[in-house]
A = this chain, B = another copy of it.
Amino acid sequence: MNEESILAGLPRQHPNLILGPGDDAAIFRPKAAEDLVFTTDMFIEGVHFRKLAPKEVGRRALARALSDIAAMGADPRFCLASVAFPKSADKTWIAQFFVGLMLLASETSTAIAGGDLSHARHLVADITVCGAVPRGKALRRDTARPGDILYVSGPLGGWRNRTEIAPRLALGKQLRGKATACMDISDGLALDLHRLCKASAVSAVLDDIPLLPNASLKQALHDGEDYELLYTAPPKTRVPGLRIGALRKGRPGQILLDGAPINPTGYDHFSRTRP
């Protein structure tokens, strides 16, 4: 098994992908009326996960990046998969990793355009995804307005018992032209809502936070890995989802719950490593 044979075996189903894995770079022919969105997401053993079946590692590595694509209101077009495997990962493990990744790629019509394979002490996967959206229609986090209603796509606090991430691609698409701002909740509602409010220069008042069974309010606010969408829309616009509060003028980034400000703390993969 070598790098070329693995990458050459991957599906490349998107018609605008002129050239898939095997050359120095993939070639993609964009449609004139579309903007492209790009995200990259690292998934590292010992940081983002510990014990997981290889199929699940491959699936989640892609799912995390697809959640960002959903948050932009975009359709995934293709991904690039860079993976460094540890010595302990044998042929079967690696094959199962790619099965997990390819199944989700296939379910979401995401072509695998290329990648880079190497080795490291622990598994490091970095998945880049390109999505497309009608020109000017991408959902951003800096465009929410005072008076907007705040929604989430599902109950929160699932980090500790979540087995699967289902990127909210259909919902993201549905929100195009309706939501004023959108992002995914990957690091906890408190930190992610703080980011949205700061980017949009508004503050938020939370009144109702939907919890998963057995989840605490603290988990919903400050734990990561929910992968639900957080979005805003004017009061008169009907959007699917669960209403959790509203935005107003005020200190940018401030969040009030029961009249008191909450700390915008959550999971920061990077600063956690710094003293």
Given contacts A23-B183, A25-B68, A271-B1, contact A124 B84 (CB under 8 A): yes
Give chain A's interface residues, CB within 8 Å of chain B: 1-4, 6, 18-19, 22-30, 32, 34-42, 44, 46-48, 68-69, 71-72, 74, 78, 80, 82, 84-85, 87, 91, 113-122, 124, 126, 128, 130-131, 135, 138, 140-142, 183-184, 195, 199, 268-274
**Choice from B18, B42, B87, B274 contacting A126 with Cβ under 8 Å:** B42
Chain B residues whose CB sits within 8 angstroms of the CB of A121 once the complex forms: 46, 120-122
**Choice from B46, B117, B124, B272 contacting A124 with Cβ under 8 Å:** B124
CB of A228 to closest CB in B, whole Å: 13
- The list of the 6 closest CB pairs from A to B, nearest first, reads A119-B273, A25-B39, A30-B30, A3-B270, A126-B126, A25-B37
Chain B residues whose CB sits within 8 angstroms of the CB of A78 once the complex forms: 38
Given contacts A120-B47, A269-B3, contact A35 B42 (CB under 8 A): no
> Is B72 a contact partner of A40 (Cβ separation < 8 A)?
no
Chain B residues whose CB sits within 8 angstroms of the CB of A71 once the complex forms: 24-25
> Is B44 a contact partner of A84 (Cβ separation < 8 A)?
yes
